[in-house]
Amino acid sequence: MVNLGCLFPKPQFLLHGFSALIVSTLRHSIEPLQVMELHQKCRNTTYGSDGKISRVPVPDNLVKWEQVWKDYSPPYYTAPGVIGKPWADKEIGEDGFCPKWNSLDQENKVDRRSLMGEYKIVDGYPLNPIGRTGLRGRGILGKWGPNHAADPVVTRWKRNASNDVIKHENSAKPILQFVSIRRKDNRQWAFPGGMVDPGEVVSQTLKREFLEETMNSLEMTPELKSRVESHIQEFFSGGDDVYRGYVDDPRNTDNAWMETVAKNFHDEDGSFVGTLSLNAGDDAVGVSWIDVSSQLHLYASHSMMPKSVAEKLNAHW
């Protein structure tokens, strides 16, 4: 039986969300640290790793929903691997699915609030707050609307064999390094972040993802995992905000998009994480300390985050 109270037709433009229950530590009342004007990476010509789904090309001047585009009719796509999964939303209009947009959806255990402020709902579907992407539906994201993630930007100073901080020959500023993983799905370097699980505090996500992605904690013995967690507990108890808001992610659609809270955890003397052995987890094929510089090419819009940290710490960029 179709739930008529929640039934809406598929619109000509949508956006989606892959979110999880996030508590008040996200501080949704504050403004994003940086405001993105246009997204680029989610306007690529094809969607997904197999290249079988094509987006409608969206020119810069028609990205914003305020710009009238009467003929805009992008394809609708929600990946088969998403439908029916326990961590994913149901389809809009499906029996029993009445999402509480722009709020903490207690019934579905999803935080549907956006770090970008209130987003619009058109014909029952949430709209990407940045604008058109050339594709409707959820794509490969699990939730309609914002999908909340957390990204730890873990840094240290680059040092020589004598443990002296190395300075760049051109800028004469100290060289900063950060922990990066090479993603298994697209082989691009990225932060060891991930989705915020239902009921999880962002600070917990940051530590959990770092342990899983860079130290393969899922394969550790309980005793070893406990020792490692104790070692870095204090290190991850603080952290400085680097970014919070929309992420220009190639998975985004008109109706589903990624948002993140990125925090910098700086190991000033290299005594906390700087001495730990790195071991890529199951979602990565590599993990390494990478020099921060303007030549960085990272996944999605991750590149802007090391730049912010370098400026804050007066490091080379």
User: What per-residue confidence (pLDDT) applies to 305?
Assistant: 86
* Residue 297 included in any domain: yes
Query: Does residue 293 fall inside a structural domain?
Result: yes
At 135, list the tokens. 């594709």
- So what's the pLDDT on residue 274? 80
Q: Which residues of 267-277 are buried (b: 16+ CB within 10 A; e: fewer)?
A: beeeebbbeee
Range of the domain at 274: 148-312
Segments of the chain with pLDDT less than 50: 1-5, 7-32
Residue 283: inside a domain, yes or no? yes
Residues 6+ apart with CB under 8 A from 6: 92, 93, 94, 96, 97, 98, 124
Whether 161 is in a domain gets the answer: yes
Residue 91 in 3-state DSSP? coil
Q: Token pair for residue 264?
A: 């910098």
pTM, rounded to two decimals: 0.82
Number of domains in the chain: 1
As given in the structure block, the two tokens for residue 303 are 């590149």
pLDDT of res. 35: 63
CATH of the domain at 238: 3.90.79.10
Question: Does residue 247 belong to any structural domain of this protein?
Answer: yes
As to burial, measured by CB atoms within 10 angstroms (0-12 exposed, 13-18 middle, 19+ buried), residue 54 is middle
Task: Name the amino acid, one letter, at 123.
Answer: D
Position 202 in a domain: yes
Q: Which backbone phi and psi does 232 adopt, to 5 degrees?
A: -105, 5
* Residue 123 covered by a domain: no
Closest Cα to residue 34, out of 240, 239, 191, 243? Answer: 243
In terms of DSSP H, where are the helices of the chain? Answer: 202-215, 222-232, 304-312
**Sequence-distant (≥ 6) Cβ neighbours of residue 106 within 8 angstroms:** 100
In a domain, 308, yes or no: yes
